[in-house]
Chains A and B, each alone.
Chain A
């Protein structure tokens, strides 16, 4: 079963705008990771945020984590056409080396 649920399922924006994607999950987590996937190929790791962190930045990416609401958001600022992809959040549970559990993803289209 998939724990993470991304919202929205699809998002279309103009180049230069900001894109925000949300992820909700059900059980307590150790870490939450965001991945990008282009055209059904491999997943590219974007950022990992630990359960004791609230915000993390990497270039044009900003990730927040609210463990009380069991939710995370990914903000891409000043979007580019090359950001067009599917974005997934993945969580791993507190107990040991548990596998990543993915949501269904958000399909982002950035229009030039």
Chain B
């Protein structure tokens, strides 16, 4: 049973460029959330996707957008990259279920460096 997989593992981009990060959730999970983790900080919530729609969003600008596909996989897109976007981007999957919250499982992350 594959866990959460993210690609690529590392990425270097130039300021102003655009980037797409990918995530495949754990088998059986239907909800994908994205987090940004700066060095020495805890992860910060970007947004959450369920049933191919953005359901919740954190305090991130519109340069950050996403998508969820029918197979529950997801993409995170960041436009007009800034140096401050350099961080570890984490994807988490969970099962929305009937109300009782289940564990969220994380991928290994994508390390984005903007130069």
A99 and B58 contacting across the interface, CB-CB below 8 Å: yes
Chain A: interface residue total (CB-CB under 8 A): 26
Complex: A50 Cα to B55 Cα, angstroms: 23
Q: Which of B6, B92, B109, B111 contacts A100 (CB 8 A)?
A: B92
Q: Which of B41, B55, B96, B106 contacts A42 (CB 8 A)?
A: B106
Interface residues on B, range: 20 to 34
Taking the closest CB of chain A, its distance from the CB of B106, in whole angstroms, is: 4
A102 and B42 contacting across the interface, CB-CB below 8 Å: yes
Residues of B within 8 A of A41 (CB): 88, 108-109
B106 and A99 contacting across the interface, CB-CB below 8 Å: no
> Which parts of B89-115 form the interface with A (CB within 8 Å)?
90, 92, 96, 101-109, 111
- Listed in ascending order, the chain A residues whose CB lies under 8 Å from chain B are 2, 4, 30-31, 33, 35, 40-45, 48, 50, 88, 90, 92, 97-105
